[in-house]
Amino acid sequence: MPNFTSSTRDVPAAAAVPRHIAVIMDGNGRWAKKRFLPRFAGHKKGVETVRAMVKACLERGVEYLTLFAFSSENWRRPQDEVSLLMQLFVKALQQEIVKLHRNGVRLRIVGDLTRFDPKLQQLIREAEEKTAGNQKLCLTVAANYGGRWDIMQAVNRLAAAHPEQGGRWSETDLEPFLAMSFAPEPDLFIRTGGEERISNFLLWQLAYTELYFTDALWPEFDSAALDAAIGSYLRRERRFGRTSEQLLGGSAGGNPPPESSLHA
């Protein structure tokens, strides 16, 4: 498993294109409502945007694209919307997997999958296995995902794996158990739909991510809108706790003293 730098321990190398983009795809319902269509029509249209985003990220050399598709709180929605969303997820998996595979995309699903229908769980396993060797773009779909769930499942698995350490853990101990341990932390976070909140998405991993909010609704978010987000990201000064003067002087700055890890 790759061992990526953590933004609180090291300063990640700057890149011309964000390596990892994480997106809250919001505004499907409002897009449909504006057109006097049922909410589901917005979700369907939203799948087309996903397709276009994958293509755009492949073209731009983005290595990781992570999409929030269904939060652990979305079960609170009306039963018929939840079940239509599940059906759409199944259909999209079945229809897109061959094309994703052909384009060198690795698909991963993160979240508590145990609440899903066994048939959907099986489809997810098959899609992940089929694309496991692909390296062009890692597309991660967060489904029944919650940032708090993620941290707690990681804590519980860590405690089960090392009961002898009696609960004295460091960040380095916890990170391999987090759902996104296979990816570097997101460089750029995008939320469409006008809301400016994290809604229990990647709470741990967004520690130093650049946040970008846009009023564009997800079904109308296109490659030009993606470029605007990347452009905004490129104009940011990512200080990771240092001063501007340190950055201008080309000094990397000192890293914090290493945590006293129990593995050390």
Q: Which is nearer to ligand IPE, 45 or 106 (CB)?
A: 45
Name the CA dihedral angle for 28, 31, 32, 35, rounded to a multiple of 10 degrees.
Answer: -170
Each residue 143-162 as x (binds Mg ion by CB under 5 A) or -, in order, gives: --------------------
If one asks whether residue 27 binds ligand IPE (CB under 6 A), the answer comes out as: yes
If one asks whether residue 107 binds ligand IPE (CB under 6 A), the answer comes out as: no
If one asks whether residue 68 binds ligand IPE (CB under 6 A), the answer comes out as: yes
The distance of Cα 47 from the centroid of its chain, to the nearest Å, equals 16
Residue from 19, 22, 28, 107 binding ligand IPE (CB under 6 A): 28
If one asks whether residue 71 binds ligand IPE (CB under 6 A), the answer comes out as: yes
| Least separation in angstroms between CB 194 and ligand IPE | 9
| Contacts of residue 251, Cβ cutoff 8 Å, sequence gap at least 6 | none
C-alpha distance from residue 189 to each of 155, 192, 231 (Å): 25, 10, 13
Binding window for ligand IPE (CB under 6 A); candidates: 6-14, 25-33, 93-101, 162-170:
25-33
If one asks whether residue 50 binds ligand IPE (CB under 6 A), the answer comes out as: no
Residue from 48, 80, 129, 195 binding ligand IPE (CB under 6 A): 195
DSSP helix/strand/coil, 118: helix
If one asks whether residue 26 binds Mg ion (CB under 5 A), the answer comes out as: yes
Number of C-beta neighbours around residue 69 at 10 A: 24
Active site residue 28: no
| Least separation in angstroms between CB 43 and ligand IPE | 6
**Spatial contact of 139 and 110, defined as CB atoms under 8 Å apart:** no
Q: Which of 74, 103, 134, 200 is catalytic?
A: 74
Q: Which is nearer to Mg ion, 194 or 253 (CB)?
A: 194
Query: Residue 185: what residue type?
Result: E
**Spatial contact of 100 and 107, defined as CB atoms under 8 Å apart:** yes
Active site residue 74: yes
Residue from 64, 70, 169, 204 binding ligand IPE (CB under 6 A): 70
From CA 230, how far away is CA 37, in angstroms rounded? 31
**DSSP state, 12?**
P
From CA 264, how far away is CA 116, in angstroms rounded? 40
Q: Can you give the binding site for Mg ion, defined by CB under 5 A?
A: 26
Residues belonging to the active site? 26, 74
